[in-house]
Structure 1
Amino acid sequence: MTDELSVKGIECFAHHGVFDFERREGQTFVVDLVLGLDTRPAAESDHLEETVNYGTLVMDVKAAVERDPVDLIETVVQRIADVCLKDRRVEWARVTLHKPDAPIDATYSDVALTITRTRGNAHD
């Protein structure tokens, strides 16, 4: 059985997208994370080194989103999952990447992609 650690609404500014103006002007992306891990060692010891440091994780995720522009959110969301799974205590990661300002000529509230990766299907 795994516990779930969630961090929601991580705002990042990046230059991903297929269109030239997206690469040039950039836009806001928002990340939601849910990580599966066993938190009992941390609960027993009350030591941060026994669990995922979510402050460090958030900064690593922001850096992953904000570097190296790519065309597709699929590429960015996989990059985020790989960052989450670097910590061996994380058994699986569910990552949602929101692109609320996607260039769509219609009224909509959000574009989002959610993936779930486990140790066996990540780019370890």
Structure 2
Amino acid sequence: MKNRYSQRVSVDCSVMFAGESMVAEGRILDLSLPGCLMESSKTLAAGEYIQLRLFLPDQQAPLHVELAAVRWAEDSKVGIEFIRTSKPEQHRLEQFVHRTSGCDTSSTLNNQGVLAGSVQNEKQL
């Protein structure tokens, strides 16, 4: 198994997500800068694109991920890669992961709000 390039933190928070002609909800079980592990009764398939609204336990407005990709799905669990989010939302995510993990969470964000780098082993999201 390959090492992660970003710290993963355990969380338990609600998420609303939307894709082409569907809106559903679920739970985020863990979170990292490039993605998350989500659990939902809604069936999703690898390759689908969705938008997310994460209700983090920081008592702020939901964190909006403009574009995310389903990288793998197994039963009710889904590995999600964040593809595009605004710079302020990316900064908030970095701060949340940093506070929760106690580790350095520096990352690179390009001008379009896309996290630089990609996950080589998709199940490691």
Q: TM above 0.5, one fold?
A: no
Higher relative contact order (CA 8 A, sep 6+): 1
Rg (Cα) greater in structure: 1
> Structure 2-normalised TM-score?
0.31
Decide which structure has greater strand share. Answer: 2
